[in-house]
Amino acid sequence: MSNLESLSEAGIAPLSRFSEDEQMLREAAADFATSMIAPKVDEMEHNSKLDSELIKQFFEQGLMGIEIPEEYNGGGGNFMMAVLAIEEIAKVDASASVFMDVQNTLVNNAFINFANDELKKKYLPQLAEEKVGAYALSEESSGSDAFALKTKAEKDGDHYILNGNKLWITNGAEADIFIVFANINPEAGYKGITAFIVERDFEGFSVGKKEDKLGIRASSTTELILEDCKVPASNILGEPGKGYKVAMETLNEGRIGIGAQMLGIAEGAFKHALEYLKERKQFGRAIADFQAVQFQIAQLDTEIETAKLLVYNAARKKMAGEKFMKDAAMAKLHASSVAENVTSSCVEFFGGYGYTKEYPVEKFYRDAKIGKIYEGTSNMQLQTIAKLALSE
């Protein structure tokens, strides 16, 4: 059975064909981005902070719980709907996009796929309606080598005591619910890693330094400090010692979300550039009329379309229950490269203006760089793709 046939059998429209619900959410996200987010982008960038009222509006619009089932007060949507919303918002602001991306593709999906019924009833309604989530895996000495983490968890009656520090945690400043990975048996290596649900007001937990970053400046990236942090044993997400499974499966979905974010960044910058090229005149002609520029436009447009197809295809395969790890890695790898290349070219299209903050393309350029770094560097994606290709 072909890929398209298998998607059809599953009742899923392939690639760029969207269901009515998917298209409706896409349009709603696009409208929200242009009407509510766009007017606040400059101020949020200057303050290096998301607007608090905008955070409330994300919840009111149902964008923070897209896949959470309706029984838990969520949107009851599908993964493609989340991907499309991430893309549309990234066309306007990457910081706002990654804010809801982490909530949907990492935190919510981890709860949906691994939490027991009791934890779902307790936390999913909160994540759908009012509470921001964060995903805490990385540490100072464990970035790409994620399973080298040093945060420890020791059993103490009906609680675990966590000690360690987490770094580079997106949404750290805004979150109330954290998925924190710690090792309950360091001698067992990665087989001791366990996922814990930590609430912001738990004893021994605090949010530390907020990073001053090149791009996605309004998105908070923080340190988390666990000093004898007391977590109920009932707050283990999944099974003890199986946190590596939670991490790997969730990150595979998250990489498609990052691919969608990078796609949106490229599309947003390209749109601004096309408008400028049609209006700006040199030597008595619009810049867009020069063949050399048209060839560059054609190349960039083609790159954006290839990234789009990879991102959408990975999302569809995930929804159809097919193996999608390689597709997710390809989507993130390629979309990140396209975003960097497209935004760089757009800065050049604007000439000297592109290097100033008077026009938005320099921000798109800075925001694009993170795509090759977080949720698995490009080198790690290459390694994953090669390993899976050799095993086929």
Check residue 100 and give left, alpha or beta (phi > 0: left; psi -120 to 50: alpha). alpha
225 bridge partner residues: 165, 206
Q: Which of 140, 362, 375, 392 is catalytic?
A: 375
Residue 71 annotated to the active site: no
The encoded tokens of residue 305 equal 């379309």
Which residue shows structure tokens 């923080």? Answer: 222
Please, is 320 exposed, middle or buried when counting C-beta atoms within 10 Å of its C-beta (0-12, 13-18, 19+)?
middle
Listed residue (190, 196, 171) closest to 254, CA to CA: 171
Which residue shows structure tokens 């159809």? Answer: 320
Which residue shows structure tokens 């779902």? Answer: 120
Spatial separation of the C-alpha atoms in residues 311 and 251, rounded to whole Å: 15
Measure Cα distances from 57 to 54, 89, 185, 311 in Å.
5, 13, 42, 27
- Which residues are catalytically annotated? 375
